[in-house]
């Protein structure tokens, strides 16, 4: 009788598979001097116990019986051991299901329980190895060992003509030579559903759960990983322990290193994908949903919302969005501004959603249905328009709010708590000896003076200055003065304002006084030798000046605060805390004063930007709280020197002062039925469960948020999102910027992967990792990132492992081809890499604050910066790009500043 050829072997543990079609050969391992190489048993394999019964072919050990049964000993290269047993050598005859066999070995034996082709078998016993006759109800005795016999214990021997270092393609369609066995099953892998074996006595059919549910194209494959000995040797994984270690062992087929002892060099690093073009916005989504806002404003981590909680649990990556409400539009594109006039802003009565392109009209145009909550609302008479035969308004194309995903509404007076305030800039400058010696005052004074004509809000802009060391220096900028007057307050415990007015003045009226002050500032404190810093009292004084108007407070700090309220101690050099459970305490604020001040600033619509220049530890973790809860930003210049860092400071300060800014802002994101945003990440103060207070927000700020399902099973086909930012423009007009987007609800996990957005995922993962570092060790945070990546790629592999012969390949969806690289970049970023000796505490905290606010494109450049060859740059000829040298010197946002000498050569 012809031996069975297909489905009678058991599957790998824990995973159903179908028949395997031969054709994916693997290279052999090195040969030992004593005979064919026998790898050690895999993890989890059961070793033979002393005294155990010999296998039916008792002339050889089990390790020598599997694998290649080929040529006689004289033809086997390097063979010094006795030849393996042939199929027709003297051995106990096979006991079929109808032969007389001991009761315990018959097909109807009661114990032990039979192990069929779908039960978990020992890893060391492949489907064609000699096994006790009780392993299958119809396989009583070892199978005949013909030319197609295979074993899971011995690696595959390829034909002599095949190259030892060149494995065959896993997708090769031709069958191997009949004298060689098929490759053994690799651990944690599935197999391609091949042809069914023909056995008239015991026909076998494919189980229902192995039938392919749909036809999917082969997934993109990465470089070849481990071949040959992969089933016997565990590939190298990250040095982790516990649950993660077991997961990596189970997921070893994704290892990029070559197997130990193999001639295969492993992965060609040149073949790995590289994001040379930077961020890739999912603009193709606009083809399916042309009414959505542009992805520069709103990006989901996957533009396919899962229909059930089970899909969410299998996704493993964060489900959420990144919102960039004031992203700069390309030249020629402007956000349309709509004024409804007496009709008022059209909104849903129940969920307060603004009218948008996805709203539908009914009752001949007299009612409109909210696309978020499905409530029918009345259409105001001033807004009425008839419908055509398809139910579409005749004026849809003429109304931007019905045809565009991003619009701005002019807000009526009911959207104002107080009259719109003018843009205000107040500068709090440290003038201690370290600031004077580093050249900080000169760079700051010249940069501010050069930006006075470009400050937003002309002619309403307000400006003021306060300098401090161990005392507070107030400056009177009354327009009738020719020179500013300085008043010193030495009482730090009871701060007061020496003047009720003229400390914050209109720039147009007092322009000459302000310019005079900026010209004299570097020389005013040239001989100052004071090393103290009274930052806390200076903040209280600035709050007293700005509390009536609000605005932006820019703090220039060059030493650790040492006097008055808010003084800080040197705690960054505590090496003993690193690697312990107390490590994270160094990255959280020590003094609650700064968080309390931030709450007061936010309440009075004051945003705080921190510029830190300290040569030593300055506790950015505590000072950064001012920016974190007021919508501000942290800039850090360690060991600042004007000759080295002056250009970088000038560029960033100019950008901070001249970019378009929204004042007195609040933001809310609304979702359709079944979903809601639960967690928010960024710099803001959360007033309620979903209302973000932003005293000032600009085009360089973005926010991340995580999404959750409110229902176990979604019943809608589409989910809608709407971002609404209520703010005061620099011109003094109250406006509402609205972004609307839609995403389909899917039941297929592969569709979620196909619609995944790497940029949004990395942006959200980076923010989550930074926040986790405030409550956990850095090593644990890095392991969590790696765990998410491993689980997600493993889940994706499981989608294709049965339908395609992927061998030892690393597979990934095309949409996530850069995800492993970016997660590695996050782990190696300033915020998360290493320990005490790798990055100073201030630099680590400053990098974390930057990652919390950066938009997607700038964040990717921050963690994976572009590199430029300076010798090539020096030879480049700049003609039309001279005006952009400052932007070019930043190297795409990687915070690298060229020296003055290089910059002069470029010009």
Q: Where is mean pLDDT largest: 849-858, 867-876, 877-886?
A: 849-858
C-alpha distance from residue 817 to each of 654, 754, 797, 852 (Å): 37, 11, 13, 24
Residues 670-687, buried b or exposed e (16+ Cβ, 10 A)?
bbbbbbebeebbbbbbee
Distance, CA of 220 to CA of 297 (rounded, Å):
29
pLDDT surpassing 50 at residue 209: no
Q: Enter the DSSP assignment of 632.
A: -
Query: pLDDT band for position 89 (50/70/90)?
Result: very low
Q: Does domain 337-403 correspond to CATH entry 2.30.30.380?
A: yes
What does the pLDDT average to over 876-885? 48
pLDDT of the residue at 807: 57
pLDDT surpassing 70 at residue 887: no
Query: pLDDT band for position 770 (50/70/90)?
Result: very high
* Per-residue tokens: 118: 């779908």
User: Which residues neighbour 681 within 8 Å (Cβ) at sequence distance 6 or greater?
Assistant: 703, 704, 705, 706, 764, 767, 768, 771, 852
Identify whether the C-beta of residue 815 lies closer than 8 Å to the C-beta of residue 753. yes
Helix (H) or strand (E) holding 595: helix 593-603
C-alpha distance from residue 470 to each of 1, 378, 473, 534, 593 (Å): 100, 64, 10, 5, 19
- Ranges 221-235, 339-353, 876-890: which has the least confidence: 221-235
Nearest Cα to 466, choosing from 476, 477, 458, 474? Answer: 474
Residue 662 has a CB neighbour count (10 Å cut-off) of 24
pLDDT surpassing 70 at residue 644: yes
* Per-residue tokens: 838: 């790798």
Nearest Cα to 319, choosing from 674, 729, 803? Answer: 674
Distance, CA of 593 to CA of 623 (rounded, Å):
10
CATH 3.40.50.410 in the chain is located at 424-567+580-659
pLDDT surpassing 50 at residue 414: yes
Counting residues of the chain whose pLDDT is more than 90, the rounded percentage is 51
Distance, CA of 598 to CA of 695 (rounded, Å):
11
Give the chain's mean pLDDT: 75
Three-state DSSP class for residue 719: strand
pLDDT of the residue at 262: 52
For the chain, the C-alpha Rg in angstroms (whole number) is 35
Identify which has the larger pLDDT, 25 or 786. 786
Would you state the torsion angle of the CA atoms of residues 873, 877, 880, 881, taken in this order, to the nearest 10 degrees? Answer: 10
Q: Which fold has domain 285-326+664-677+688-827?
A: Immunoglobulin-like (2.60.40)
Opening angle at CA 26, ends 21 and 28, nearest 5? 140
Distance, CA of 486 to CA of 484 (rounded, Å):
7
Identify whether the C-beta of residue 672 lies closer than 8 Å to the C-beta of residue 720. yes
Distance, CA of 796 to CA of 787 (rounded, Å):
14
pLDDT surpassing 90 at residue 854: yes
Distance, CA of 406 to CA of 737 (rounded, Å):
7
Q: Does domain 424-567+580-659 correspond to CATH entry 3.10.20.30?
A: no
Distance, CA of 814 to CA of 802 (rounded, Å):
19
Distance, CA of 539 to CA of 526 (rounded, Å):
24
Strand partners, 703: 323
Give residue-wise pLDDT tens across range 112-148: 444 444 444 444 444 444 444 444 444 444 444 443 4
Diameter over CA atoms, the chain: 119
How long a stretch of residues is the chain?
907
Give residue-wise pLDDT tens across range 251-280: 444 445 444 555 555 556 666 778 877 788
CATH 2.60.40.1670 in the chain is located at 285-326+664-677+688-827
What does the pLDDT average to over 102-120? 43
CATH 2.30.30.380 in the chain is located at 337-403
Give the sign of the dihedral formed by CA 239, CA 245, CA 249, CA 252: negative
Distance, CA of 257 to CA of 267 (rounded, Å):
7
Beta-sheet pairing, 367-369 with 376-378? antiparallel
* Per-residue tokens: 256: 């990029």
Give residue-wise pLDDT tens across range 461-513: 999 999 999 999 999 999 999 899 999 999 999 999 998 888 999 999 999 99
What does the pLDDT average to over 519-523? 93
Identify which has the larger pLDDT, 107 or 427. 427
Q: Is 393 exposed, middle or buried (0-12, 13-18, 19+ CB in 10 A)?
A: buried
| Residue listed under structure tokens 């290193």 | 257
C-alpha distance from residue 569 to each of 122, 248, 574, 607, 619 (Å): 61, 43, 12, 25, 8
């Amino acid at each position: 009788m012809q031996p069975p050829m297909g489905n009678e072997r058991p599957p790998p543990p824990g995973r159903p598979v179908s028949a395997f079609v031969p054709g994916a050969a693997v290279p052999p391992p090195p040969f030992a001097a004593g005979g064919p190489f026998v790898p050690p048993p895999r993890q989890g394999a059961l070793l033979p116990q002393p005294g155990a019964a010999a296998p039916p072919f008792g002339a050889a050990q089990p390790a020598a019986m599997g694998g290649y049964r080929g040529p006689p000993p004289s033809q086997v290269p390097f063979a010094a051991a006795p030849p393996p047993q042939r199929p027709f050598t003297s051995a106990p005859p096979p006991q079929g299901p109808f032969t007389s066999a001991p009761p315990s070995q018959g097909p109807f034996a009661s114990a032990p329980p039979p192990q069929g082709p779908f039960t978990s078998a020992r890893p060391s016993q492949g489907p064609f190895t000699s096994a006790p006759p009780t392993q299958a109800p119809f396989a009583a005795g070892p199978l005949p060992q013909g030319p197609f016999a295979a074993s899971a214990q011995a690696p595959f021997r390829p034909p002599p003509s095949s190259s030892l270092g060149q494995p065959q393609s896993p997708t090769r369609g031709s069958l191997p030579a009949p004298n060689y066995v098929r490759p053994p099953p690799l651990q944690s892998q599935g197999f391609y559903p091949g042809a069914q074996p023909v056995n008239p006595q015991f026909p076998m059919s494919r189980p229902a759960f192995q039938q392919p549910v749909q036809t999917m194209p082969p997934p993109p494959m990465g470089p070849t990983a481990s071949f040959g000995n992969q089933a016997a040797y565990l590939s190298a994984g990250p040095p982790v322990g516990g649950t993660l270690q077991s997961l990596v062992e189970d997921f070893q087929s994704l290892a990029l290193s070559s197997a130990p002892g193999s001639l295969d060099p492993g992965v060609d690093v040149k073949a790995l994908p590289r994001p040379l073009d930077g961020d890739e916005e999912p603009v193709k989504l606009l083809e399916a949903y042309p009414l959505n806002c542009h992805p520069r404003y709103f990006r989901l981590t996957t533009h396919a919302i899962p229909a059930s909680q089970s899909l969410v649990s299998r996704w493993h990556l964060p489900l959420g969005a990144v919102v960039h409400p004031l992203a700069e539009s390309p030249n020629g594109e402007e956000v349309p501004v709509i004024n409804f006039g007496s009709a008022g802003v059209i909104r849903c009565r129940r969920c307060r959603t603004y009218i948008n392109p996805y709203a539908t009209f009914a009752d001949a145009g007299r009612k409109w249905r909210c696309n978020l909550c499905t409530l029918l609302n009345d259409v105001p008479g001033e807004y009425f328009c008839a419908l055509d035969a398809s139910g579409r308004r005749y004026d849809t194309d003429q109304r931007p709010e019905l045809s565009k995903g991003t619009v701005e509404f002019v807000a009526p007076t009911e959207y104002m708590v107080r009259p719109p305030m003018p843009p205000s800039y107040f500068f709090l400058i440290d003038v201690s000896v370290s600031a004077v010696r580093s050249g900080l005052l000169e760079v700051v004074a010249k940069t501010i003076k050069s930006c006075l004509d470009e400050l937003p809000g002309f002619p309403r802009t307000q400006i003021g200055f306060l300098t401090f060391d161990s005392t507070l220096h107030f400056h009177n900028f009354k327009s009738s003065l020719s020179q500013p007057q300085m008043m010193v307050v030495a009482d730090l415990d009871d701060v007061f304002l020496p003047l009720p007015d003229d400390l914050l003045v209109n720039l147009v009226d007092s322009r000459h006084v302000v310019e005079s002050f900026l010209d004299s500032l570097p020389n005013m404190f040239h001989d100052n030798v004071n090393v103290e810093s009274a930052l806390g009292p200076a903040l209280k004084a600035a709050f007293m000046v700005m509390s009536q108007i609000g605005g932006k407070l820019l703090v220039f700090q060059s030493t650790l605060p040492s006097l008055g309220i808010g003084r800080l101690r040197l705690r960054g050099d505590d090496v003993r805390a690193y690697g312990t459970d107390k490590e994270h305490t160094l990255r959280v604020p020590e003094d609650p004063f700064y968080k309390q001040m931030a709450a007061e600033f936010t309440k009075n619509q004051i945003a705080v930007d921190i510029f830190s220049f300290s040569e030593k530890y300055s506790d950015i973790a505590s000072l950064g709280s001012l920016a974190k809860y007021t919508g501000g930003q942290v800039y850090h210049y360690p060991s600042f020197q004007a000759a080295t860092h002056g250009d970088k400071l000038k560029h960033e300060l100019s950008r901070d002062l001249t970019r378009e800014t929204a004042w007195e802002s609040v933001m809310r994101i609304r979702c359709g039925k079944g979903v809601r945003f639960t967690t928010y990440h960024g710099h803001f103060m959360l007033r309620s469960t979903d209302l973000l207070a932003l005293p000032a927000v600009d085009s360089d700020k973005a926010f991340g948020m995580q999404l959750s399902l409110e229902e176990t099973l979604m019943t809608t086909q589409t989910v809608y999102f709407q971002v609404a930012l209520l703010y005061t423009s620099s011109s003094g007009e109250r406006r509402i910027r609205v972004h609307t987007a839609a995403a389909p609800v899917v039941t297929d996990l592969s569709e979620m992967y196909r619609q995944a957005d790497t940029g949004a995922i990395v942006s959200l993962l980076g923010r989550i990792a930074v926040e986790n570092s405030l409550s956990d060790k850095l090593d644990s945070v890095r392991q969590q990132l790696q765990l998410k990546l491993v689980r997600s790629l493993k889940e994706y592999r499981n989608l294709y492992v049965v339908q395609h012969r992927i061998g030892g390949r690393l597979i990934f969806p095309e949409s996530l081809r850069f995800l492993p690289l970016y997660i590695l970049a996050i782990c190696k970023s300033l915020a998360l890499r290493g320990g005490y000796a790798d990055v100073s505490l201030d630099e680590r905290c400053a990098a974390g604050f930057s990652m919390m606010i950066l938009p997607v494109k700038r964040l990717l450049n921050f963690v994976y910066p572009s590199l430029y060859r300076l010798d090539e740059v020096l030879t480049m000829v700049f003609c039309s790009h001279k005006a952009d040298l400052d932007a070019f010197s930043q190297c795409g946002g990687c915070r690298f500043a060229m020296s003055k000498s290089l910059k002069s050569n470029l010009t």
